[in-house]
Amino acid sequence: MQKLNKEPFHTCIINSELTYDIRKKILWPHITNGNYSIEPDDFDSTFHLGTYFKNQIISIGTFIKENNSKFDDDAQYRLRAMATDKDYQIKGAGRNLFLTALQILKKKKIMMLWCDARLNAIPFYKALGMKSLDQIYQIPNIGPHKTMYIYLDSIK
Ligand SMILES: CC(C)(COP(=O)(O)OP(=O)(O)OC[C@H]1O[C@@H](n2cnc3c(N)ncnc32)[C@H](O)[C@@H]1OP(=O)(O)O)[C@@H](O)C(=O)NCCC(=O)NCCS
Boundaries of every domain in the chain: 9-154
Which of 22, 89, 120, when mutated, tests ligand 1's pocket best, judged by the most ligand atoms within 8 Å of its CB?
89
E runs forming strands in the chain: 9-14, 47-53, 56-64, 76-84, 112-118, 131-132, 137-139, 143-151
Q: Which amino acid residue places its CA nearest to atom 7 of ligand 1? A: 94
Determine the pLDDT at residue 70. 96
Determine the pLDDT at residue 6. 57
pLDDT digits (tens, 9 = 90+) for 37-94: 999 999 999 999 999 999 999 999 999 999 999 999 999 999 999 999 999 999 999 9
Pocket around ligand 1: residues whose beta carbon is below 6 Å from it?
Answer: 26-27, 59, 82-84, 89-95, 117-118, 120-121, 123-124, 127
Which of 51, 96, 124, when mutated, tests ligand 1's pocket best, judged by the most ligand atoms within 8 Å of its CB?
124
CATH 3.40.630.30 fits domain 9-154:
yes
- Nearest residue to 117 via CA among 109, 107, 128: 128
d(CA 26, CA 44): 26
Determine the pLDDT at residue 154. 85
When pLDDT is cut at 50, 70 and 90, the band that residue 155 belongs to is confident
Determine the pLDDT at residue 2. 52
Determine the pLDDT at residue 101. 98
- At residue 104, φ and ψ (nearest 5 deg) are -65, -45
Q: Which amino acid residue places its CA nearest to atom 48 of ligand 1? A: 117
pLDDT digits (tens, 9 = 90+) for 16-41: 999 999 999 999 999 999 999 999 99
Global pTM value: 0.95
